Structure 1
Amino acid sequence: MEHPVLMAIRRAGFTPFGWFHPQAEDRVPDGAKFVILIGNAGPDMWRRFARERNPARDTMDAWTEVAAGELARDLDARAVFPFDKPPYPFLTWARRARAGYVSPLGLNIHPAYGLWHAFRAALLFPVAFDMPQPTLGAHPCESCMEKPCLSACPVSAFSPAGYDVPACVAHLETAGKTCMEGGCLARRACPVGRAFTYGPAQAQFHMTAFLQARLAAR
């Protein structure tokens, strides 16, 4: 049977991706003894968000802060978020939690969920749990010879040099209807985790939020 804490996380609509006992070099605050990374994979969190949010004021970050904060309090934990300032090293924590690998796009890739997941919070516990280490398969990109994710972008925004954000944003503003309606083509080209691909409403929401945030940052 799954650990009761993991079951509670799933009941709240979140996916528990991995966990670890932090060391000093992990920069985990409050002297926490145990960390669980949670977020979205599949439709559960999105459905809860779509059902509960107020479109006039609730960004996904704002909603997540409330929902994950309530979950943390129920579990006698504290929630911290990728959008906190200064930022916490979530991708480093993901390596420690056995929650995925770095993909050629620079995004975290999970052997089961592919690129169709996101870390939304870390739950910090004052006590350690006796949970078996998460099982993580081999890095899926190492056996992917064609790497279609690197050639699918219409403006070649992804390359060994990194992510060309201005080129991506310029495309989305002008000729990026396909990306805006169905999601990032580079992400969609990845063969891993296709069962967890975002549906149209979720894809459009994330693409719109991404574009608006980038335009506002100009």
Structure 2
Amino acid sequence: MHPPTSHPDTLALAEIVAHLAPHRLEVLGGFGVQTDEPGLPPGTRTLLLLGPSEPGFWAHLTAQPEWQDGTPDPVDRWSRRVIGKLACDLGAKALFPFGGPPWHPFYSWALRSGRVWESPVRLLVHATQGLMVSFRGALALKHAVGLPPAVPRPCDNCSAPCTTACPPGALTTASYDLPSCHAFLDRPEGRDCMSGGCLVRRACPLSQTYARLPEQSAYHMGQFHR
């Protein structure tokens, strides 16, 4: 896609969204910044959080050079290349949830967006992607961008199947027992989680309506459990 026709300092959200679409990325949320904040580039007035847009993201990504070249971390390398170029085209600064330390506080940034919340099991839950939400990067822009209003937290009217979905009871409202999680994934009973994604994430009703492919979840589970 060609660089935007508007000056970067006047880009509207719809123009930014259109620029992301060919890369199968979408704005998952964002927030305005009134004054310079620690951890954000000086002059930042809007932060937009970017993540996969489904259907189509995984098929697009796995056709890219980073996936085909056989070297490590293809998803992160693709994210750096694509979001870095988008930032240049949009007059923004690209920020990523990987590559630290130091680590950017994507969790707390997401909570400021009005479209992402802490779920009963403390994983982030998104207004449309549920517990399958993931961030590939963020754009720090030097102008104010009109953002949609906050929406109600979906967990407030949910029976919370996520709270009882973990077979070994490693992930609950009380805690996350990481050693127990990995031990379960090593056993035959853990193959479903490894091949289709974490059962807690999949239990969320919003996750079930989001078109994320099991192959993508399997890749990320393999990265997590290695």
The aligned counterpart of 1:119 is: 135
Candidates 147, 172, 182, aligned match of 1:159: 172
Matched, 1:137 2:151: yes
The aligned counterpart of 1:189 is: 203
- Cα drift, residue 24 of structure 1: 4.1
Matched, 1:198 2:219: no
> Residues of 2 paired with 1:157 and 1:206: CA distance?
18
The aligned counterpart of 1:48 is: 60
- Cα drift, residue 26 of structure 1: 6.2
> Residues of 2 paired with 1:96 and 1:172: CA distance?
33
> Residues of 2 paired with 1:41 and 1:114: CA distance?
13
The farther-off stretch of 79-88 and 38-47 is 38-47
Distance 1:161 1:18, change over 3 A: same
Letter in 1 for 2:138: A
Secondary structure of the residue that 1:18 maps to in structure 2?
strand
Whether the aligned pair in 1 keeps the contact of 2:51 and 2:135 (CA below 8 Å) is yes
Normalising by structure 1, we get a TM-score of: 0.87
> Residues of 1 paired with 2:113 and 2:93: CA distance?
17
Off by >6 Å, runs of 4+ in structure 1: none
Any unmatched runs of 5+ in structure 1? 213-218
The aligned counterpart of 1:73 is: 88
Matches within 5 A, 1:31-42: 31-42=43-54
Any unmatched runs of 5+ in structure 2? 1-11
Secondary structure of the residue that 1:166 maps to in structure 2?
helix
Deviations 1:191-212 (A, max 9, x none): 1242215222112111111112
> Residues of 2 paired with 1:26 and 1:13: CA distance?
30
- Cα drift, residue 57 of structure 1: 1.1
Secondary structure of the residue that 1:17 maps to in structure 2?
strand
- Cα drift, residue 172 of structure 1: 0.8
The farther-off stretch of 49-58 and 101-110 is 49-58
The aligned counterpart of 2:192 is: 178
Secondary structure of the residue that 1:30 maps to in structure 2?
coil
Letter in 1 for 2:48: I
Normalising by structure 2, we get a TM-score of: 0.84
Letter in 1 for 2:167: P
The aligned counterpart of 1:8 is: 19
Whether the aligned pair in 1 keeps the contact of 2:201 and 2:207 (CA below 8 Å) is no
- Cα drift, residue 109 of structure 1: 0.8
Whether the aligned pair in 1 keeps the contact of 2:115 and 2:127 (CA below 8 Å) is no
Q: Considering only aligned residues, what root-mean-square deviation do their CA atoms show, in Å?
A: 2.0
Letter in 2 for 1:70: K
Secondary structure of the residue that 2:136 maps to in structure 1?
strand
The aligned counterpart of 1:148 is: 161
> Residues of 2 paired with 1:16 and 1:44: CA distance?
15
Q: How many residues align?
A: 209
Whether the aligned pair in 1 keeps the contact of 2:93 and 2:141 (CA below 8 Å) is yes
Distance 1:122 1:14, change over 3 A: same
- Cα drift, residue 85 of structure 1: 2.2
Deviations 1:77-98 (A, max 9, x none): 1111111321111122112222
